[in-house]
Structure 1
Amino acid sequence: MTAPAPTGVLHPEALAGQIAVVTGAARGIGAVVALELARGGADLALFDLDEPSATAEAVQAMGRKAHAERLDVTDRAAVETSIGALSRVDVVVTSAGVYGEPTPVADIDDADMDRVLGVNLKGALWTIRAALPALRRAGGRVVCLGSAAGEVGGIASGPQYVASKGAIHAMVKWLARMEAANGVAANAVAPGAVETNMIAGRGYSGDYCPLGRLATAQDIATVIAFLASPHAAYMTGTVVDVNGGFHMG
């Protein structure tokens, strides 16, 4: 994996000495987020159901440390073991996610509902829960990957996906209220359609939004990195729209 050109969103030492956990780090938004946080000085703990070693190598090429591990975020015990083994956690970014096909509600089965909610919602919650003791010690930050679909009722996705992302937005607000006294801030980013493998071949085009193009993973990662940094110290409980003007909440 080749690191993208510097974007300048973070000072090179903004996250110096910090350890950031990123799920869904093997590719797409998660991989680019990892590089953006490394560019800001963080060391990375990278988790994905697929092998995230290529992302780790790119982080290491930038002079940062990286731990890469295959992990199923729906496995609560495994998440607790893997994240509990980290020496410290300052930032958690939950970007592991799966797509929910636009299936008519009458045709949704238990397996698909459990799959989408298991990864997108439960996986984020298990990750955050496992990291909370360390986040409280660090006065850390949580950034969850939501979706414009969870705000407007979907773009071209099914109710299982919409429900999972709407729940992420609500959970972030709950977490922000519950953990503010412990020094932990929590926010979410709500992208529209992003040029990743998740939507490849599904007919998305930039016509859906005023800016007239699909987002890149870098567009989303830049905002996530800002929310993970001290620059966003007074932000918590916020869902930030990054969707080319599709939803102006």
Structure 2
Amino acid sequence: MSDLMGIAMHAQRVAIVGVGGIGEPCAEICAQLGAKLILADRVAPQAIAERIAAQHGAQTEIHALDIGSVESVNRFCADIGDIDALIVTAAILPEERELEPGSDEWEASFQRAFDINLRGPMQLAQIMMQKMIAKKAGRIVLLGSLAGRSGGLLSGAQYASGKGAIHTLVRWLALRAASHGVCVNGLAPGATATPMLTNEVVDTRKIPAGRLAQPIEIARVAAFLASPAASYMHGAVVDVNGGACFS
């Protein structure tokens, strides 16, 4: 069925950056579809790679990548060479609510959030997009957020504005890549049961679906966007939020 739907990724090299949370099920689905995996996180995800290789027979390689570091991103892009698809799920939810805007602590929090949530993904996507353009094929998937659309009910200004910028970045990249056979898209998850929300209280009564998303439910959409099946999608930011954006 996967082959008939154009979703199979036989022998494609798929890089997944940010393997914690949503990234791990993304890796599992891509492995099931036949992809060769390049997994990167702040600490190289050895255990995750070994488990996926054992369960799904997938070829995997791992890298330590600090997406908030210009040098680390440049080194990673040079090390992995050409890839067929890039999925970037790396992000942080800064604790900014108790910080006074303009204070040293707020500035430090903002810089870290900016580097990890926006500047790093932008740098990584632009470098890999140029490589994909050179071979006239590729997929890039960036993780936005419902907060980027709504202004952020659970998050502060730094996270919400950064994710809104990711949505704009998706469209900016797509406009420049589409004519070269490269599809750039994103997705905007609602509240998802990941470690990022461990300290947050979510009123699920405000979500039409009545519950948090499970990471696998977000990962399925990301894997689709990274697959050949999304061949005529350019610049889309797909809502996966249990209906929350309409409530």
TM-score normalized with structure 2 length: 0.91
Matching residue's letter, 2:38: A
CA distance in 2, matches of 1:75, 1:175: 21
1:115-153, Cα deviation, whole Å (9 max, x unpaired) = 111101011112112322332215100100000000010
From 76, 82, 85, the counterpart of 2:79: 85
Structure 2 stretches lacking a partner, 5+ long: none
CA distance in 2, matches of 1:16, 1:37: 9
Instruction: Give the total of aligned pairs.
Output: 241
- 1:96 matched to 2:76? The reply is no
8 Å CA contact 1:24–1:96 kept in 2: the answer is: yes
8 Å CA contact 1:99–1:116 kept in 2: the answer is: yes
CA distance in 2, matches of 1:232, 1:118: 29
Alignment of 1:10-89 (within 5 A): 14-25=8-19, 27-61=20-54, 62-89=56-83
CA distance in 1, matches of 2:129, 2:113: 24
Residue number in structure 2 paired with 1:113: 110
CA distance in 2, matches of 1:207, 1:161: 23
Matching residue's letter, 1:212: G
1:36-58, Cα deviation, whole Å (9 max, x unpaired) = 11111111111111331122112
TM-score normalized with structure 1 length: 0.90
- 4+ residue segments displaced more than 3 Å: 8-13, 104-108
The 1:248–1:13 alpha-carbon spacing in structure 2 relative to 1, beyond 3 Å, is closer
CA distance in 1, matches of 2:179, 2:171: 14
Q: Please, what is the CA RMSD of the aligned residues?
A: 2.1
From 182, 185, 188, the counterpart of 1:187: 185
Structure 1 stretches lacking a partner, 5+ long: 1-7
The 1:127–1:196 alpha-carbon spacing in structure 2 relative to 1, beyond 3 Å, is same
8 Å CA contact 1:79–1:130 kept in 2: the answer is: no
Displacement of 1:74 in angstroms is 1.5
1:58-116, Cα deviation, whole Å (9 max, x unpaired) = 22121111111111012122212222222420101110000033527843611011111
Matching residue's letter, 1:133: Q
8 Å CA contact 1:11–1:40 kept in 2: the answer is: no
CA distance in 1, matches of 2:90, 2:100: 27
CA distance in 2, matches of 1:24, 1:15: 20
From 125, 129, 143, the counterpart of 1:128: 125
8 Å CA contact 2:7–2:227 kept in 1: the answer is: no
Matching residue's letter, 1:22: I
Residue number in structure 2 paired with 1:3: none
Matching residue's letter, 2:146: A
Matching residue's letter, 1:116: A
Aligned identity (percent) is: 37
Query: For 2:142, what is the secondary structure of its paired residue?
Result: strand
